[in-house]
């Protein structure tokens, strides 16, 4: 790659060559310095003009520079080992996304190694891995009635009374008001709301009568049956059981907390355009 890049950009080739030599000599600080230069030069070329006009050697150079940088930064002493590992993993992910296939296998091996080191350093998850920012259901239940972030009470009777009074326009009772008066006002407001809702529903149904019939439910139909009986005839249907075999629907569901723990620290591409094969 260095020899091929030398014909295009000697400065980038020199920086990448020095980074590779420093890794081989276990001179991690020099490797980090030179690989950062090579990364920056390749990054600028990769983000100039249309991606189809970039020579493939620049993608190989960027992947190689990312590999050298990740190896170097995990070998240099740092104040926070976990932060260094997360930075190295992000560098590897960028190399996987923007580099070509020549260094893909090496980057994947390094990513697996970094994942192992992250787990040993106190959990490999990203935001929310340690539970910060996420309130488990059991923890909320143990805490008992508390207050919402907006300051409203979670205690059911008080909350129902407050909402009913707000709907009816009745001012909240003073501290000397009896509980029976508050309950009576709440019941009156609730009855008025139900009556208004029923009236609106009746009025709407009078102007927009229901038509058609319920869509049939199909439990994992064959492709031929669905195409012939529904798709080609533009007949709607509710498909059931179609995704039961997906890994995301298994014993370990892909909920947001799970995704944070499993891959919250990884850098992934967000693609724009008509579809992932589009030249746009």
Provide the 3-class DSSP secondary structure of residue 143. helix
Residue 228 has pLDDT above 80, yes or no: yes
Q: Quickly count: other Cβ atoms within 10 Å of residue 210's Cβ.
A: 6
Residue 272: the pLDDT is 74
Query: In Å, what is the CA distance from 279 to each residue of 57, 93, 270?
Result: 20, 22, 15
First vs last C-alpha separation in the chain: 28
The string of DSSP codes covering 7-40 is TT-HHHHHHHHHHHHHHHTT-HHHHHHHHHHHHH
- pLDDT tens, position by position, 6-34: 888 899 999 999 999 999 999 998 999 99
CA atoms within 13 A on the CB side of 270: 1
Among residues of the chain, what percentage have pLDDT more than 90?
Answer: 33
**Lookup: tokens for 63:** 């992947």
Among residues of the chain, what percentage have pLDDT more than 70?
Answer: 63
Residue 105: the pLDDT is 93
Mean pLDDT of 127-152: 34
Residue 212: the pLDDT is 74
What single DSSP character describes residue 229? I
Residue 43: the pLDDT is 93
Q: Quickly count: other Cβ atoms within 10 Å of residue 96's Cβ.
A: 20
Q: What is the rounded CA–CA span in Å between residue 38 and residue 44?
A: 10
Query: In Å, what is the CA distance from 275 to each residue of 100, 246, 278?
Result: 21, 22, 5
Q: 227 pLDDT band (50/70/90 cuts)?
A: very high
Q: 197 pLDDT band (50/70/90 cuts)?
A: low
CA 108 to chain centre: 21
Q: 75 pLDDT band (50/70/90 cuts)?
A: confident
Q: 118 pLDDT band (50/70/90 cuts)?
A: confident
Mean pLDDT of 70-79: 73
Cβ-contact 54, 98 below 8 angstroms: no
Residues 6 or more apart whose Cβ sits within 8 Å of residue 78? 84
Q: 131 pLDDT band (50/70/90 cuts)?
A: very low
Instruction: Give the pTM.
Output: 0.56
Residue 200 has pLDDT above 60, yes or no: no
Residues 6 or more apart whose Cβ sits within 8 Å of residue 238? 215, 216, 217, 218
Q: What is the rounded CA–CA span in Å between residue 44 and residue 102?
A: 20
Q: What is the rounded CA–CA span in Å between residue 69 and residue 35?
A: 5
Residue 136: the pLDDT is 33
Q: 199 pLDDT band (50/70/90 cuts)?
A: low
Q: What is the rounded CA–CA span in Å between residue 155 and residue 157?
A: 6
Residue 22: the pLDDT is 93
């Amino acid at each position: 790659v260095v020899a091929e890049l030398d014909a295009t950009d000697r400065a980038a080739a020199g920086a990448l060559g020095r980074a590779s030599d420093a890794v081989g000599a276990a001179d991690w600080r020099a490797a980090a310095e030179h690989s950062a230069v090579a990364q920056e030069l390749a990054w600028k070329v990769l983000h100039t003009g249309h991606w189809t006009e970039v020579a493939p050697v620049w993608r190989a150079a960027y992947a190689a520079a990312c590999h050298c940088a990740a190896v170097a930064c995990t070998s240099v002493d740092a104040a926070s080992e976990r932060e260094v590992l997360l930075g190295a993993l992000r560098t590897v992910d960028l190399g996987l996304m923007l580099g070509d296939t020549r260094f893909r296998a090496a980057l994947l091996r390094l990513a697996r190694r970094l994942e192992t080191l992250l787990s040993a350093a106190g959990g490999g998850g990203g935001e929310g891995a340690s539970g910060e920012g996420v309130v488990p259901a059991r923890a909320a239940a143990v805490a008992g009635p508390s207050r919402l972030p907006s300051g409203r009470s979670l205690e059911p009777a008080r909350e129902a009374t407050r909402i009913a009074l707000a709907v009816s326009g009745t001012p909240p009772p003073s501290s000397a008001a009896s509980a029976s008066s508050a309950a009576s006002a709440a019941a009156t407001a609730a009855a008025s709301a139900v009556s208004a809702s029923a009236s609106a529903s009746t009025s709407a149904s009078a102007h927009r009568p229901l038509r058609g019939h319920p869509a049939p439910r199909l439990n994992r139909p064959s492709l031929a049956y669905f195409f012939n009986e529904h798709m080609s005839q533009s007949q709607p249907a509710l498909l059931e059981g179609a995704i039961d075999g997906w890994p995301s629907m298994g014993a370990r569901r892909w909920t947001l907390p799970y995704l944070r723990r499993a891959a919250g620290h990884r850098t992934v591409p967000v693609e724009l355009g008509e579809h992932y094969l589009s030249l746009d």
